[in-house]
Amino acid sequence: MNEKIVDRSVGLSGAFIKNLLSELFLEKQALLSVRSPGAVAELFPGEAKTFELGDSYLTIERSDWHLHIEFSKIVSVRFKMERSPRGRLVRAVIFEDEAGVTVVRGAFRTGYPPGLSDPEQIMEDFRRWARGFIDTPFVHLDFLV
């Protein structure tokens, strides 16, 4: 996608969450994951049939899965970059509830985007992109590399 989807002037609202997830899922091709006690669902990106904001839920639907996110539960967004125990570069955007528990997480599917293999450039690109959101009190940057 050439056009930026995110309107960064919006507060932490359903619209902000929808826009950020849209950018992650559609443009940046991040894998979404949702956990519950004893299980995790990993939802692969691609063309969505539905990306719709309702009164209290955001619905993302593909032909093979769908996800409902109660956006009122999300109180903070964390951009995180670190190295895995195997040394792989992990970049993620984590949507958290008031207890700091992850509601939904968008993680980049590979350590390196297609056509880009320089880890320093990848880290700088992620830092630059994430810093575009830090003018809001509910957004946190957590760069461990």
- Please check the confidence at residue 9 and state whether its pLDDT lies above 90: no
CB 84 within 8 A of CB 107: no
Supply the CATH classification number for the domain 14-143: 3.40.1570.20
Residue 73 CA to its chain's centroid (Å): 16
CA 57 to CA 85: how far, in whole Å? 35
User: Is the pLDDT higher at 78 or at 5?
Assistant: 78
| Mean pLDDT score, 16-28 | 82
- Please check the confidence at residue 3 and state whether its pLDDT lies above 60: no
Percent of the chain with pLDDT over 70: 86
pLDDT value of position 8: 43
- Please check the confidence at residue 2 and state whether its pLDDT lies above 50: no
pLDDT value of position 115: 62
- Please check the confidence at residue 82 and state whether its pLDDT lies above 50: yes
For the stretch 83-122, pLDDT in tens is 888 888 889 999 998 899 999 999 987 655 556 667 888 8
| Mean pLDDT score, 62-91 | 89
How far CA 88 is from CA of 27, 91, 102, 103, 110, in Å, comes to: 22, 10, 21, 24, 9
- Please check the confidence at residue 45 and state whether its pLDDT lies above 50: yes
Per-residue exposure over 113-123, b if at least 16 CB sit within 10 Å of its own CB, e if not: beeeeeeeebe
pTM of the model: 0.82
Mean pLDDT of the chain: 82
Which of 109, 94, 85, 83 shows the shortest CA–CA distance to 34?
Answer: 94
How is residue 119 written in tokens? 């880890």
